[in-house]
Amino acid sequence: MQHQWPRESLDIWMQNACADLHWHGDLAIPITCAHPIRSPNTSYITSLRSGWFDYAAQELQDQRLHATGIRLVGQFARVLGLDQLVLVGNFPVSTNIWPDSAHAALVEACADTVHMHAKQFVAVRNLQSDANAALIHALRTMGFHALPARLVYEFDLRQGLAYKPSHLMRDRSALTKSNLETNISSEISNAQASRLRELYQEIYIKKHSELNAQYTTQFFSDMVQTQVMQVLSLKNKAGAIVAFAMLYQQEDTLTVPALGYDTQAGIEGLYRLLFAAIHQYAQTQKLLLNYSSGAGDFKRKRGGVPRMEYTLLRPPSAWQGRLLSWLEKKTSTIQAHHLINMGA
């Protein structure tokens, strides 16, 4: 797969980005700069306030007191200037993977960004304490603070499938019996791109949250046609796409930036079948599957290993730095099992 992203305006790909996309250096490190005015549904991909506070408040909407408290903290973060944010290494996807070969370029991009945006918060998402230890250390020396962001789940299939969870094997068996055709494609028509967006919107936006990336049809078309990603699809006997997943491979790690399925297809357990197909592909290609956050119980029952993910955040002033230092210390004891107990 080629990973040369096309140079487009971010709003062509995301309707709720509220940010501009720039590219840094020979490796084209992506940098998103927030717009001065933030819309209420700005995606968590370009806004830490959306991810940390607005999204959390939505998930706790049945607990009004907690949700209100989180929103108030979010307003305090706005007053502190968190909306004036520059995110380095921020491709417009939920999970960014940074192999060792790209660390130097990312650190250089961070240094240049801090210099150019001295009065704004600068951040890097999607870092793990083990996989990105050297990178985190380098950013700390530049004044960044590590704050726990979310729990992601990994399936390490680089050496094959050593453990066969019963839920996973049932899903694979169900996929085989479903008579759905699994297809991996590096080409896509405009009609198919429109179908992918329709299925994605049904699950990510209508079912879950408007704070998810509101991808356009052009996003799906551009990602596949430029071979940045492939699309895995499940098709019925008539050849119609009933489920899909975008496959984004970076060295030996696979992520799934977007997926969707037809809730009206009349096929039982379609999400389980889609995951079985993704897992089978990752095993065949001997990849580490990073399956992002959410649906923790589902993923653990199928062999997913939880990993803490951090956001590295640099404040624009000394007093904000002291506040972040205190917050970093207070959250440093948070472990994966704490988030699992909270439903992650």
Whether residue 5 is contained in a domain is answered as: no
**Are 25 and 97 found together in one domain?**
yes
CA distances (Å), origin 302, targets 165, 276, 293, 297, 332: 6, 10, 14, 9, 29
Whether residue 3 is contained in a domain is answered as: no
Whether residue 2 is contained in a domain is answered as: no
**Are 276 and 334 found together in one domain?**
no
**Are 96 and 179 found together in one domain?**
no
Give the type of residue at 116: M
**Are 35 and 137 found together in one domain?**
yes
**Are 56 and 88 found together in one domain?**
yes
pLDDT for the residue 232: 98
| Tens of pLDDT, residues 244-284 | 999 999 999 999 999 999 999 999 999 999 999 999 999 99
| Tens of pLDDT, residues 180-221 | 999 999 999 999 999 999 999 999 999 999 999 999 999 999
In 3D, which of 49, 50, 32 has the Cα closest to residue 41? 50
| Tens of pLDDT, residues 3-62 | 689 988 999 999 999 999 999 998 899 999 999 988 999 999 999 999 999 988 887 777
Largest CA distance in the chain: 62
pLDDT for the residue 344: 79
Whether residue 130 is contained in a domain is answered as: yes
**Are 191 and 278 found together in one domain?**
yes
**Are 78 and 121 found together in one domain?**
yes
Three-state SS string across 203-249, please? HHHHHHCCCCCCECHHHHHHHHHCCCCEEEEEECCCCCEEEEEEEEE
Q: How far apart are CA 309 and CA 147, in angstroms?
A: 9
For 70, the 3-state DSSP assignment is helix
**Are 208 and 257 found together in one domain?**
yes
Number of domains in the chain: 2
pLDDT for the residue 59: 78
Given its phi and psi angles, is residue 3 left (phi above 0), alpha (psi -120 to 50 degrees) or beta?
alpha
The residue segments making up the domain with residue 194 are 155-300
| Tens of pLDDT, residues 146-181 | 999 999 999 999 999 988 999 999 999 999 999 999
**Are 194 and 296 found together in one domain?**
yes
**Are 57 and 190 found together in one domain?**
no
Q: How far apart are CA 336 and CA 307, in angstroms?
A: 7
CA distances (Å), origin 250, targets 96, 176, 253, 297, 311: 9, 28, 5, 26, 20
**Helix (H) / strand (E) containing 135:** helix 133-140
Whether residue 109 is contained in a domain is answered as: yes
Whether residue 1 is contained in a domain is answered as: no
pLDDT band of 343, cuts 50, 70, 90:
confident
Verdict on whether the full-model pTM lies above 0.85: yes
Which CATH number fits the domain that encloses residue 231? 3.40.630.30
Whether residue 273 is contained in a domain is answered as: yes
Whether residue 80 is contained in a domain is answered as: yes
**Are 284 and 314 found together in one domain?**
no
**Are 271 and 327 found together in one domain?**
no
